[in-house]
A = this chain, B = another copy of it.
Amino acid sequence: MLKLFYATGTCALASHIALEDAGAEYETVRLDFRSNDQRKPEYLALNPKGRVPALVTDRGILTETPAILVFIAQTFPEAHLAPLDDAFALAQVQAFNSYLCSTVHVAHAHRVRGYRWVDADDAAAIVAMQKKVPQSVAECFDLIEREMFAGPWVMGTSYTICDPYLFTLARWMEADGVESSHFSKVHDHLRRMSERPAVKRVLAQETALAG
């Protein structure tokens, strides 16, 4: 059975929602980033990147959200989560998810994980990065709002693997100092996503007390 390693509040939420959207049979393992679970030897033996998400399949482990999302769409084609038979339309899905991963998530990460790109002891540089985040994240969502979001779902009339991924990153916007209400399409998408039963189930599970 598929097994998803995730941590609460991370981009693994996108893969978690997609598994639920797909009607997949899967189990989950929650890592606690406060305990640094993701750097412990037993997890590094499974996923040397020391990050989430990681999806364990019967053929091995998969990482990287855009890869996992297309894998879920291909493995559960009856859920129609991506335009698998149309190379151009699939490339548009991939381009959107690649932008989220390499530009939007990266812009956000400069607020909370600046030590990846400067010496962790350089407090001034860490603060300089954090200061820019509201601007760089807002620029991303401005581009998404103006140029990428077809509506009512990201790709238009069909819900795809772009939707849980956008939802996941858009949830971070307010904490990044960006008012989501400035981006009406993204804001409305956030609301409609959070009303989907699959999303409610996943969020309830991810935020339930560990036990």
Residues of A within 8 A of B (CB): 48-49, 57, 59-60, 62-68, 70-71, 74-75, 87-88, 90-92, 94-95, 98-99, 101-102, 105-107, 110, 116-119, 122, 124-125, 128-129, 131-132, 136, 143, 146-147
Contact = CB atoms under 8 A, between A and B. Distances in A.
One complex includes copies of this chain to the number of 2
Contacts of A129: 117-118, 125
A211 to B, nearest CB: 32
A98 B66 contact: yes
B48 A143 contact: yes
Contacts of A91: 62, 67-68, 70-71, 74
Nearest to A124: B124
B98 A117 contact: no
Please classify the interface of chain A as helix (H, G, I), strand (E, B), loop, or mixed, using the class held by over half of its residues: helix
A111 to B, nearest CB: 10
25 contacts: A48-B143, A57-B88, A62-B91, A65-B98, A66-B66, A66-B94, A66-B98, A67-B91, A67-B95, A67-B98, A68-B95, A70-B87, A70-B90, A70-B91, A71-B91, A102-B106, A106-B106, A116-B136, A117-B117, A117-B132, A118-B125, A118-B129, A118-B131, A119-B132, A124-B128
Nearest 3 A-B pairs (CB), nearest first? Answer: A125-B128, A67-B94, A64-B98
Given A131-B119, A146-B48, A88 B70 contact: no
Contacts of A119: 128, 131-132
Contacts of A65: 98
A48 B67 CA distance: 25
A170 to B, nearest CB: 18
Nearest to A60: B88
B74 A59 contact: no
A190 to B, nearest CB: 22
Given A74-B87, A122-B128, A125-B128, 16 more contacts: A48-B146, A48-B147, A64-B98, A64-B99, A67-B92, A67-B95, A70-B90, A71-B88, A74-B91, A102-B102, A102-B106, A110-B117, A118-B128, A124-B124, A124-B125, A128-B128
